[in-house]
């Protein structure tokens, strides 16, 4: 784990000393948008028109943020139009790598690089910042479009609709105002909450993260008793953003990140909801438990110094969910 400083790779772990033991996630650095006609999106520059075969996605199957983009690529029928490279699950001193000695790790299909940081410096030779997945690459201009998953899923939601003919809308204009506060709470206390609990290096920082995490899971459990999805009958991006954390919770976060008041299987509604989303057409194939379990336990030496991969519960995500 490390970062780029003036285009050079430096092996450094997150510095939690300056923040009283709290893990602070940095902002993504590339924020352009693919749009149907190449006009600029809400941030960044224009010139990224939706075209079949033009864009490439770099992902880790382990990463919940990258997983969102893979889900949208699958459910919006973008698989024939956007190519993918999958990094190796081990993120060690050189960061994400393109080693292929793990089933499903593809290597770098575009440049044959060994490390993901080389993709970042191909765009910005003197880049300073973190090297994260997902990365959306424009083959036509030879540059990064975006490395912010929340925005990549919104591009995938609509920019390619006239190419794919798929008009499903997971971010409908009429519901955006209702989706935003739900996303914000889930991001802060659940998606990022598990990381804040797991990477905390003080008791106070851990407590500050883990208590709101379980308050939010209790709230979601109640909400899902009355509602099929977070926004009622409509399946939206808010559900997919929550799902990638729920699917990792029992195999990883419960033990590795010390989020162990309860497991998802202990919440009847959340557990059935997780299975319903897992069984949604196209989604199962985006879930790779081998990468998920290996990545966290093997990569975070500060949490699991002997890199022992735990046996883990056997969970049946294919069991009938009874939620419509
Ligand atoms: N804001 C980014 C966060 C992505 C992110 O933090 N990805 C993690 C993997 S789960 C990563 O690549 N971390 C490497 C690092 O921080 O050095 C997004 O949602 O796209």
Q: Are residues 150 and 197 in the same domain?
A: no
Say if CB 196 and CB 209 are below 8 A apart: yes
Give me the number of domains the chain comprises.
2
Distance of CA 37 to CAs 47, 131, 157, 264, Å? 8, 29, 15, 42
CB count in 10 Å sphere of residue 131: 24
DSSP code at position 27: P
What pLDDT sits at residue 11? 87
**Which atom of ligand 1 is least distant from the CA of 91?**
14
Give average pLDDT by consecutive 10-residue segment, the chain, 324 residues. 92 77 84 98 97 98 98 98 98 97 98 98 96 98 98 98 98 98 98 98 98 98 98 98 98 98 98 98 98 97 95 95 94
pLDDT of residue 206: 98
Whose alpha carbon is nearest atom 6 of ligand 1? 132
- The CATH number covering residue 265 comes to 1.20.1050.10
Please give the distance, rounded to the nearest whole angstrom, from the Cα atom of residue 322 to the centre of ligand 1. 34
180 and 75 within one domain: no
CB 86 within 8 A of CB 105: yes
Q: What's the DSSP call for residue 10?
A: E
CB atoms inside a 10 Å sphere around CB 320: 10
Q: What is the domain-level CATH number for residue 18?
A: 3.40.30.10
Q: Could you tell which of 9, 65, 145 is best to mutate to test the pocket of ligand 1, judged by most ligand atoms within 8 Å of the CB?
A: 65
Find the catalytic residue in 14, 58, 61, 63.
63
Residue nearest to atom 15 of ligand 1 (CA): 132
Answer whether residue 232 is part of any domain: yes
Is 101 in the same domain as 49? yes
**Do 179 and 237 meet the contact criterion of CB atoms below 8 Å apart?**
yes
Q: Is the CB of 1 under 6 A from ligand 1?
A: yes
Residue 303 belongs to some domain of the structure:
no
Q: Domain for residue 313, yes or no?
A: no
Active-site option among 113, 187, 195, 317? 195
197 membership: H or E segment, kind and range: helix 193-199
Nearest Cα neighbor of 32 from 116, 115, 124 is: 124
Q: Could you list the residue range(s) of the whole structural domain that residue 25 is in?
A: 3-164
Cis peptide before 134 (omega within 30 of 0): yes
């Amino acid at each position: 784990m490390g970062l780029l400083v003036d285009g050079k790779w430096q092996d450094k772990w997150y510095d939690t000393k300056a923040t009283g033991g709290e893990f602070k996630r940095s902002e993504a650095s590339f924020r352009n948008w693919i749009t149907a006609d190449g006009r600029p999106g809400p941030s960044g520059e224009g010139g990224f028109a939706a075209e079949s075969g033009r864009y490439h996605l770099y992902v880790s199957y382990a990463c919940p943020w990258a997983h969102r983009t893979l889900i949208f690529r699958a459910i919006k029928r973008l698989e024939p139009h956007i190519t993918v490279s999958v990094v190796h699950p081990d993120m060690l001193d050189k960061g994400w790598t393109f080693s292929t000695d793990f089933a499903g790790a593809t290597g770098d299909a575009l440049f044959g690089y060994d490390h993901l940081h080389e993709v970042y410096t191909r765009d910005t030779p003197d880049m300073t910042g973190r090297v994260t997945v997902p990365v959306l690459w424009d083959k036509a201009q030879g540059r990064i479009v975006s490395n912010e998953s929340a925005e990549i899923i919104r591009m995938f939601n609509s920019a390619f609709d006239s190419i794919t003919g798929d008009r499903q809308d997971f971010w409908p204009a009429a519901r955006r105002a209702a989706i935003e506060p739900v996303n914000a709470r889930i991001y802060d206390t659940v998606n990022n909450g598990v990381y804040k609990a797991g990477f905390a290096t003080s008791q106070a920082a851990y407590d500050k993260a883990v208590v709101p995490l379980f308050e939010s899971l209790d709230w979601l459990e109640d909400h899902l008793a009355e509602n099929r999805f977070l926004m009622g009958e409509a399946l939206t991006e808010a559900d997919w953003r929550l799902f990638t954390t729920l699917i990792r919770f029992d195999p990883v976060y419960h033990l590795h990140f010390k989020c162990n008041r309860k497991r998802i299987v202990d919440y009847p509604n959340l557990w059935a909801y997780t299975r319903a989303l897992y069984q949604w057409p196209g989604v199962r194939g985006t879930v790779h438990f081998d990468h998920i379990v290996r990545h966290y336990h093997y990569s975070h030496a500060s949490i699991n110094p002997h890199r022992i991969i735990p046996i883990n519960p056997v969970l049946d995500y294919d069991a009938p969910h009874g939620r419509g």
